[in-house]
């Protein structure tokens, strides 16, 4: 911890949350954002008007808004900040690299080559690696590689899975109306009907339906893309194994979307954790330590279609990006691996997450809230339900409006959760944060009015 982050952390004894404190500077920033940015936000998520804030700085598991109010963070840059906010090791690696050069493009640079060298033995499917700059780019390019390799066009995804922002991904991610399988439902305007016709949707964790869909459509299916833990829903025993076995049997590429699970469940991600080796795997989030880095890794015969030496031939699949192989991102990725390779890191964060789930469940039960806290490893969630969901429809059947209202009440008490989104925990969360979280949850239960 640097001197400045140490002094920031030392302020954590103060009350969490805004508590009515909004400085003029933050009020002005929120007003300007409203005038300048669609919806007054930077992307696809907006908090209710009265809860909006502007992030100022963070340290470990905590951050502060522009008025100086302190929060405990379970959103963690949408799961990117597994090492917490402002980790010293990454800040130093990025500063050192910045002094030597920011970005190069094309050909080779040292940090990117060293990162590929470090990653290859960790990721079971990685005979080859191609860097991108986001998870969405990774899934988009994996899909193109699968189509090039098989000469087929259709892609099967699972209902409720999120694979990014491109047209092939924004289908049946969080459908408000439920269609019959395998018809997709667009999540956004702007997706051509023709793209929808190229996608099939199956229920997650349902081996029989998947088996019959893949058998029926194998002749036109290029790939199956699957989140190993779908959002927060764990695979039932045998599900990922069935996806692996049946894709191989039917000549369909299996893409394991490890954007969230990569480096979080083990250094080798879900592949190591579940013992499943796909044909291709996609990465984002932790791989770049908070900088915009993604990757596709996989079988040499599929990945080598992106060899520029094949340009102009039917065997070439175009994959490129101005900012890929970025040196700052690669330096941050290398520093991240240095931290994650320390003994005990995963055991500790898994134990802390178990403690968090158990403690929160105890608070909710004490208040008779009808909430089940669940999750596996360093991700967790809570639903107004008495059972753990196995697929999207189980989750959609719970009272998500009430949940979002309760999550806002948690935020009023200083616990940052993205409404209706699963939560993360970083390797910097300690008993102190957990105790404050339990106390905040207790207050939220007392004041929550549905």
Ligand X SMILES: Cc1ncc(COP(=O)(O)O)c(C=O)c1O
Instruction: Give residues in contact with ligand X (CB under 6 A).
Output: 78, 134-136, 139, 162-165, 227, 257, 259-260, 284
CB 419 within 8 A of CB 408: yes
Smallest distance, ligand X to C-beta of residue 12, A: 28
Smallest distance, ligand X to C-beta of residue 295, A: 11
CB 201 within 8 A of CB 184: yes
Structure-block tokens of residue 133: 């700059």
Would you say 164 or 182 has its CB closer to ligand X?
A: 164
Would you say 7 or 45 has its CB closer to ligand X?
A: 45
Known catalytic residues? 162, 257, 285
Structure-block tokens of residue 210: 């998947």
Residue recorded with tokens 């191609």:
130
CA distances from 155 to 143, 167, 191 (A): 8, 12, 15
Q: Please, which residues bridge with residue 58 across strands?
A: 63
Would you say 139 or 305 has its CB closer to ligand X?
A: 139
Would you say 17 or 203 has its CB closer to ligand X?
A: 203
Smallest distance, ligand X to C-beta of residue 224, A: 14
Smallest distance, ligand X to C-beta of residue 163, A: 5
Smallest distance, ligand X to C-beta of residue 139, A: 5
Q: DSSP letters along 79-126, please? A: HT-TT-BS-HHHHHHHHHHHTT-S---SS--HHHHHHHHHHTTTSTT-
Nearest-angstrom CA–CA distance, 182 and 202: 6
CB 23 within 8 A of CB 29: no
Would you say 135 or 186 has its CB closer to ligand X?
A: 135
Structure-block tokens of residue 35: 């005038």
Structure-block tokens of residue 279: 């044909």
């Amino acid at each position: 911890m640097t001197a400045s982050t140490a002094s920031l952390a030392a302020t954590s004894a103060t009350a969490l949350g805004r508590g009515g404190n909004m400085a003029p500077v933050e009020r002005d920033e929120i007003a300007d954002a409203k005038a300048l940015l669609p919806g007054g936000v930077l992307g696809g998520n907006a908090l209710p008007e009265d809860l909006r804030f502007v992030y100022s700085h963070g340290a470990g598991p905590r951050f502060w808004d522009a008025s100086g109010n302190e929060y405990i963070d379970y959103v963690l840059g949408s799961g990117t900040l597994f090492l917490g906010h402002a980790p010293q090791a990454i800040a130093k690696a990025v500063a050192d690299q910045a002094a030597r050069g920011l970005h190069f493009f094309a050909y080779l640079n040292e940090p990117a080559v060293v990162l590929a060298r470090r990653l290859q033995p960790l990721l079971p499917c990685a005979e080859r690696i191609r860097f991108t700059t986001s998870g969405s780019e990774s899934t988009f390019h994996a899909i193109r590689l699968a189509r090039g390799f098989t000469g087929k066009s259709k892609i099967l995804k699972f209902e409720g899975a999120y694979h990014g922002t491109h047209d092939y991904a924004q289908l049946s991610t969080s459908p408000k109306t439920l269609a019959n399988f395998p018809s997709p439902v667009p999540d956004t305007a702007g997706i051509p009907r023709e793209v929808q016709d190229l996608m099939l949707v199956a229920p997650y964790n349902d081996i029989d339906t998947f088996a019959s869909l893949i058998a029926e459509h194998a002749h036109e299916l290029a790939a199956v893309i699957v989140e190993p833990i779908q959002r927060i829903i764990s695979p039932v025993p045998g599900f990922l194994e069935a996806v692996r076995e049946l894709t191989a049997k039917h000549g369909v590429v299996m893409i394991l979307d490890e954007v969230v699970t990569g480096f979080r469940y083990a250094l080798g991600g879900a592949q190591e954790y579940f013992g499943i080796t796909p044909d291709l795997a996609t990465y984002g989030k932790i791989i770049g330590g908070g900088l915009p880095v993604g990757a596709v890794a996989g079988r040499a015969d599929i990945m080598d279609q992106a060899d520029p030496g094949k340009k102009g031939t039917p065997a070439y699949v175009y994959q490129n990006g101005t900012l890929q192989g970025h040196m700052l991102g690669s330096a941050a990725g290398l520093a991240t691996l240095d931290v994650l390779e320390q003994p005990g890191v995963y055991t500790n964060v898994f134990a802390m997450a178990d403690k968090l789930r158990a403690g929160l469940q105890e608070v909710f039960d004490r208040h008779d809230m009808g909430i089940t806290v669940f999750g596996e490893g360093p991700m967790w969630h809570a639903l107004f339900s008495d059972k753990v969901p196995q697929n999207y429809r189980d989750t959609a059947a719970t009272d998500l409006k009430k949940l979002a209202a309760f999550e806002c009440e948690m935020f009023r008490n200083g616990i940052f959760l993205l409404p209706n989104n699963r939560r993360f925990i970083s390797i910097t969360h300690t008993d102190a944060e957990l105790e404050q979280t339990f106390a905040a949850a207790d207050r939220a239960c007392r004041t929550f009015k549905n």
